[in-house]
Structure 1
Amino acid sequence: MEIETRKLIKQALPAYKAHQIDVTLDLLDDNNTVPFIARYRKEMTGNLDEVEIREIQDEANRITKLQQRKQEVLNQISEQGKLTAKLSATINAATQMQQVEDLYLPYKQKRRTKATIAKDAGLYPLAQWVLQFKREAVETVAKQYVNEKVPDVDSVLAGVHEILAEAIGERAEFREWVRRYTQRNGILASKLKRNGEAKDEDQVYQIYYDFQSALKKVSPYQTLAINRGEKAGVLTGKITVDEVAIERYLKFQLIGSHQGPAVSLVEAAYQDAYKRFIGPAIERELRRSLTDTAQEHAIQVFGNNLYHLLMQAPLKNHVVMGFDPAYRTGCKLAIMDGNGKYLAKKVIYPHKPAPTVKREQAMPEFIKLLNDYQVDMIAIGNGTASRESELFVAEAIKQVKRDVRYTIVNEAGASVYSASAVARAEFPDFNVEERSAVSIGRRLQDPLAELVKIDPKPIGVGQYQHDVPESGLDEQLERVVETAVNQVGVDLNRASIELLEHISGLSKQTASNIVAYREENGSFSSRPELKKVPRLGPKAYEQSVGFLRIINGKNVLDNTDIHPESYAVAKQVLSNLGLKLDQVGTPAVASVIENADASRLSNELNVGTATLQDILQSLQRPGRDRRDEMPAPILRTDVLQMSDLKPGMKLQGTVRNVVDFGVFVDIGVKQDGLVHISHLSNSYVSAPSAIASVGDIVTVWVLEVDEQRHRIQLTMVEPND
């Protein structure tokens, strides 16, 4: 990367030290992944986390594109023979793409305009003369320019007007001033479009029928809602600003204290330039900028929600039944053991319109399955017939003498998985609904391992996801999945191809090769055995091995976050503390390490403090899963219905979605309740994500229930507070 490019990156990111940026960029240029750098190169980067590394990476990409565009523009202007030293310096000093485009605008090849026609008619010298504000009458001088292309004075003056208006409209400094002024003082307004009511029968956009907000205060979700309303033909949106103030600025810049016959001609030109060129262009830019910001925000919201969904606590070592509800086609059941291995499946018909005899058979068949396989957890999908199925399950477990509990699982995306090639390969003899029941059950057992099998978009934990660029959303969600998978790590001997391909340094091909090697040669007994996998070279091994765990392997360190490159240090740590390798993970080791002097060890062993802290933590808890620290799902034994809810009632619920205007909470009835942003706390809340995350278990109180509209209003502020 060029020195100048790195200089610009450092200027754009003053929060980072210069050496942090240089080292991070060097590591990225050397094909190191973000998870690997964040986990195993902490001393080099100054302990930067994944978010910070990606910020440097993204800024480097932006600056690189900016530099490339600058060079393209410089070349284009140079080819026209119009590149001056001053213009070249101004372009090179630009820090934003829009500045470069503004500077290029006067030289940009464009279609034939009225101004170019006027220039071809020889009127450019007259336009320059007008700007000198001479005392001589403009009409008198204009007569000298009459020719066969401009046959009279009026035609000459009209041509001069076009030349002046276009030139004023293309002045970079004018556009920049108007842009900044509009950003500071502009208002975004929306109105109901004529006949728009017919297209908004449910009044979805009612609050935007007569809406106004200062540009600098517009919320991202408001921007996207107005955009969607315009696209639906319901709304019209516009940016308004004080045009008098803008024209006053243009007059000062172009006319100043000048007087004389040319003043009125220049006034008309700058007024027309603003109305035809500058104003519409700036409005388009700012609407696009609002949209870009709102889309980026929506993508971040989706990504943040997805991360917390993936990081939900797994329900380990429980026999789970996945329950995919339905009416006519019957409820599909699938049972998995404590490791997620499929055991059995069945279809029962507990709901109408099934025949009476089938409905009567459903309960004993269901209870027999629970007892035969010692099921202790039931995951019920939240789709069609979910409420009736919950009532059925609650009644059934009352008749079982063991402790059996259930929970409602968000089945969004389960149908996508069920029809996918992955699901067909996994369960070739199952129909789509039976695969869905397996997916629902496994989502409770290990949300991360199951959800990585599908495209994250259908999971629906965001806002306005259909109004954002799919490529940008895909890139962000891929990053989120990569982060989650590598932070948790995977069991090398059990992980699916879909899970492995998200591991640092691995591709779909190398992930497939790992699984094929495992099937042919049996379980891996040590991390170095990975080197035998076809097409998994030294770089891929280095990047991936620390995130791949081997449980009960030859070396206990293979079941930790410690990278093999640090095994020697780990053994030195144990020796220094008077411990042995076979004691790792025992209470004795945990007690000694808790009281260890990390600073002394760091100095004596000549190892970075951050790396040493990670090693000590891993020696205390090999095989640790950071998701175990997350809140466990709420498990129920009885049903709560919407009609049971009363204002003031205190409940526990699970956060299902976090959006700009509030938080949706599953409180055990079919409809999620909304905690509006104003009810998240008794103090000011800037963003709901600062208060709650997807998967959080929260205490709420019922504010209002509207059964007819299926709406529940909740609060997280205790009524007496």
Structure 2
Amino acid sequence: MQNLIALLAKKTTLNEKQISNILTLLEKGDTIPFIARYRKELTGNADDEQLRLFNDVYMTAKRLLERKEEILHILKERELLDQKIRTAIDNAQTMTALEDLYRPYKEKKNTRASTAIQQGLTPLANTLQSAKLDKQAFMKEAQRFVKGEVKDVEMALRGAQDIVAERYADVAKEREVLRDMVQRHGVIEVKATKKFQENGSFKNYKSHSEKIAYIPSHRYLAIKRGEKEKELSVKLTIDTERYLDTLGRYKLKEYMGSSKTLLFDAYKDGFKRLLYPSIEREVFGLLKEKADASAIEVFGKNLTQLFMSPPVVGKVLLGADPAYRTGCKLAVIDENGTYLDHAVIYPVPPRDEYEKSRDVVARLVEKYNIQGVAIGNGTASNETQAFFVKLNTDGLTLPYTVVSEAGASVYSASSVAAKEYPDLDVTIRGAISIAGRLRDPMATLVKIDPKSLGIGQYQHDVDQKLLERKLHENVERLVNAVGVDVNSASASLLSYVAGVGSTVAENIVKHRESVGIFESKSALLKVKGLGAKAYEQAAGFMRIRGGKSVFDNTGIHPESYAVAKALERYDDVSDTKSIAKELGVGEITLQDIIKELAKPGFDPREDLPSIPFKQGLTDIHSLREGSIVSGVVRNIADFGAFVDIGLKNDGMIHISQMSEKRIKHPLEVLSVNQYLARVEVISIDLEKNKVGLSLKEV
């Protein structure tokens, strides 16, 4: 354990005491949200993100130490372990360095070198590698090995060279030098294949080369997708001649015998056949890991911004799922998100039933006092928006906003939707989801696989296990940061609460439906499967509005209720250091308790700008270069942002058009669901229905 703590201290900003505390908490089964929120004194006030990064480093360090023990055990069993290799293994800081050290000792099967070794050519390889003989003397020495499977001198020479080639390719230092050279100076060469489509998705990569040290992650993922679809071929290149020249001068400088040319041939073969292809695969793998991590990070940030969009509170809302032939599906939800009613209208071609559709909407508005409309941004969205604009000119006064409907069809056909609305058609479930995205984005979107939400970039090309884990962590962090109303939350939302999980979440809902609402947090202990440990982890993130205790509607953990109660006797709580000492509680914990008491039931999303409603409509034919429009950011990628300005397709702001000063990533200046009041149109393509936008000097 001490070795692990020391290694983690080198790789993180935490001291050994904090690391020891965190490891102890994790071993006890405490979750990261719980540790971040309720064990701050033990962690040095590390937040959720820092703890997750620590956990990643911890797991990597643990695997490294376990692999070291495994390798040492193997070498000891084979009587190959000496102090030199033990010291080198102990000092290895990465898995790559460790595997490089172990590589020469691995038992290899079915290689040219292993065959030569079986043929008894190791002594000849040793003689070749010493390069002390001249060529004639070496070939005479090789004659001694012509026996059994070795048919002639040439075969003996090739076998000896194969052994030397593999030895060279397995040397840790050689691998490290070449790896560094490829990473710093290597060039990725991309060529079109016979299946290349001239005007397809990869037209910009028909003949492309770029130093791998500078290639953006999104471009590398695009190239790899083209390779996967067999439209592109990809390889890494370096200045091979320069490398071999350096190799010759470095490896052969001390040798005098003329057989050194035979030795150099072995090194060249080892480089071209073994070492370089191995390092090329390795570097490709590292590039992919880096690109995956970058894409997943962007996805996670987009997801954070989407989930943290402020809810529209206190309004009855109408969700509209537009379509042409099958009609626009409508669903009404109340202030709490409860489904009330539905209808289908046909206000757009081919039926164009404006009057009938108007009457249906007017009836719903009058019956339920609808105060806003959420329109999906898919097929027929623009025409449906035009319908609601006309309703407003006819005096209905029904403001609307457009929301992304990505994933609505996935949700409506899911088992989650079937449980929630068993008697409703899937199309109506989709309209409910669209309305819910406006009322409470987090509570609605948590029911959908994040990969279906239309955010991020290349999410289907990255490591899917890593993506799933990182997205789960993101959602878990957000849900616990906001808190969950245990008496209204769905099982999907409850499953992300620290310590709960899907089975217990289902049991909470069943208990609520059969017994009634929870009047206190302690009542959760009556739920099947929710034991003391799960309660400890989850209770602080649960909220009970109007419960028996005011503390139950805060983020104060039940373990601190006595402290919260004791604060009532203090007229002034500004001297938190003294009060914390008197009450026997950590000062950071006390400060959090005071903060929660100041705003019981506080939702951190309330501090964010609300989603705007509108009544007008943008027409691409009325736009000109220089026109000023408004819109909502729908998605952010490495190269730019996509903005809904009321057209069929989202407009695009390239990263170069986001700021007068140079920025490294769009997320520095924009966020998903951010409302942009003034954006300039800088290009219009009527044929492709595309609009280029700029934030510069607007």
Q: TM class, shorter-chain normalised?
A: over 0.9
One-letter amino acid of the counterpart of residue 168, structure 2: I
Kept in 2, the 8 Å contact 1:174–1:250? The answer is no
Identity level (%) = 41
Q: 2:592 aligns with which of 610, 614, 623?
A: 614
Q: 1:554 aligns with which of 534, 548, 559?
A: 548
Match of 2:152 in 1: 152
One-letter amino acid of the counterpart of residue 389, structure 2: A
Match of 2:14 in 1: 16
Match of 2:660 in 1: 682
* Alignment partners' CA distance in 1, 2:250 and 2:14: 40
| 1:203-225 Cα distance to aligned partner (Å, 9 max, x none) | 32122222222221111111101
Structure-to-structure mapping, 1:207-222, within 5 angstroms: 207-222=204-219
Kept in 2, the 8 Å contact 1:367–1:400? The answer is no
| Alpha-carbon shift at residue 51 of structure 1 (Å) | 0.8
| Alpha-carbon shift at residue 343 of structure 1 (Å) | 1.1
Match of 1:192 in 2: 192
One-letter amino acid of the counterpart of residue 127, structure 2: W
Q: What's the secondary structure of 1:269's corresponding residue? A: helix
| Alpha-carbon shift at residue 71 of structure 1 (Å) | 2.6
Which is further off, 61-70 or 596-605? Answer: 596-605
Kept in 2, the 8 Å contact 1:118–1:160? The answer is yes
Q: 2:367 aligns with which of 365, 372, 378?
A: 372
* Alignment partners' CA distance in 2, 1:33 and 1:437: 36
Structure-to-structure mapping, 1:626-641, within 5 angstroms: 626-641=604-619
Structure-to-structure mapping, 1:400-419, within 5 angstroms: 400-401=395-396, 403-419=397-413
* Alignment partners' CA distance in 1, 2:151 and 2:491: 77
Q: What's the secondary structure of 2:460's corresponding residue? A: helix
One-letter amino acid of the counterpart of residue 210, structure 1: S
Match of 1:386 in 2: 381
* 1:540–1:151 CA distance, 2 compared to 1 (3 A): closer
One-letter amino acid of the counterpart of residue 92, structure 2: A
| Alpha-carbon shift at residue 465 of structure 1 (Å) | 0.7
Q: 1:705 aligns with which of 680, 684, 696?
A: 684
* Alignment partners' CA distance in 2, 1:264 and 1:288: 34
One-letter amino acid of the counterpart of residue 97, structure 1: M
Q: 1:396 aligns with which of 391, 405, 409?
A: 391
Structure-to-structure mapping, 1:482-493, within 5 angstroms: 482-493=476-487
| 1:578-597 Cα distance to aligned partner (Å, 9 max, x none) | 7xxxxxxxxxxxxxx7xx34
Match of 2:179 in 1: 179
User: 2:165 aligned with 1:165, yes or no?
Assistant: yes
Kept in 2, the 8 Å contact 1:127–1:164? The answer is yes
Which is further off, 651-660 or 39-48? Answer: 651-660
| 1:171-221 Cα distance to aligned partner (Å, 9 max, x none) | 12111111112111111121222x243xx2533212222222222111111
* Alignment partners' CA distance in 2, 1:452 and 1:106: 50
Match of 2:108 in 1: 110
* Alignment partners' CA distance in 1, 2:98 and 2:163: 23
Structure-to-structure mapping, 1:274-313, within 5 angstroms: 274-313=271-310
Q: TM-score, normalised by structure 2?
A: 0.96
Match of 2:506 in 1: 512
* Alignment partners' CA distance in 2, 1:337 and 1:114: 74
Kept in 2, the 8 Å contact 1:138–1:261? The answer is no
Structure-to-structure mapping, 1:653-672, within 5 angstroms: 653-672=631-650
Match of 2:535 in 1: 541
Structure-to-structure mapping, 1:579-618, within 5 angstroms: 596-618=574-596
Match of 2:560 in 1: 566
Q: What's the secondary structure of 2:144's corresponding residue? A: helix
Kept in 2, the 8 Å contact 1:25–1:57? The answer is no
* Alignment partners' CA distance in 2, 1:713 and 1:359: 33
Match of 1:586 in 2: none
| Alpha-carbon shift at residue 606 of structure 1 (Å) | 4.5
* Alignment partners' CA distance in 2, 1:115 and 1:276: 12
* 1:116–1:564 CA distance, 2 compared to 1 (3 A): closer
The number of residue pairs the alignment matches comes to 695
Match of 2:471 in 1: 477
One-letter amino acid of the counterpart of residue 384, structure 1: T
Q: What's the secondary structure of 1:654's corresponding residue? A: strand
Match of 1:86 in 2: 84
Unaligned runs of 5+ in 2: none
* Alignment partners' CA distance in 1, 2:372 and 2:400: 6
Match of 1:271 in 2: 268
* Alignment partners' CA distance in 2, 1:601 and 1:647: 63
* 1:85–1:378 CA distance, 2 compared to 1 (3 A): same
Q: What's the secondary structure of 1:343's corresponding residue? A: strand
Which is further off, 406-415 or 205-214? Answer: 205-214
Q: TM-score, normalised by structure 1?
A: 0.93
* Alignment partners' CA distance in 2, 1:259 and 1:20: 59
Match of 1:126 in 2: 124
| Alpha-carbon shift at residue 715 of structure 1 (Å) | 1.2
* Alignment partners' CA distance in 1, 2:120 and 2:42: 65
* 1:256–1:574 CA distance, 2 compared to 1 (3 A): farther
One-letter amino acid of the counterpart of residue 329, structure 2: K
* Alignment partners' CA distance in 1, 2:694 and 2:405: 26
| Alpha-carbon shift at residue 656 of structure 1 (Å) | 1.0
* Alignment partners' CA distance in 1, 2:407 and 2:133: 76
Unaligned runs of 5+ in 1: 579-592
One-letter amino acid of the counterpart of residue 710, structure 1: N
Q: 1:644 aligns with which of 622, 637, 659?
A: 622
Kept in 1, the 8 Å contact 2:131–2:263? The answer is no
| Alpha-carbon shift at residue 290 of structure 1 (Å) | 0.2
One-letter amino acid of the counterpart of residue 495, structure 2: E
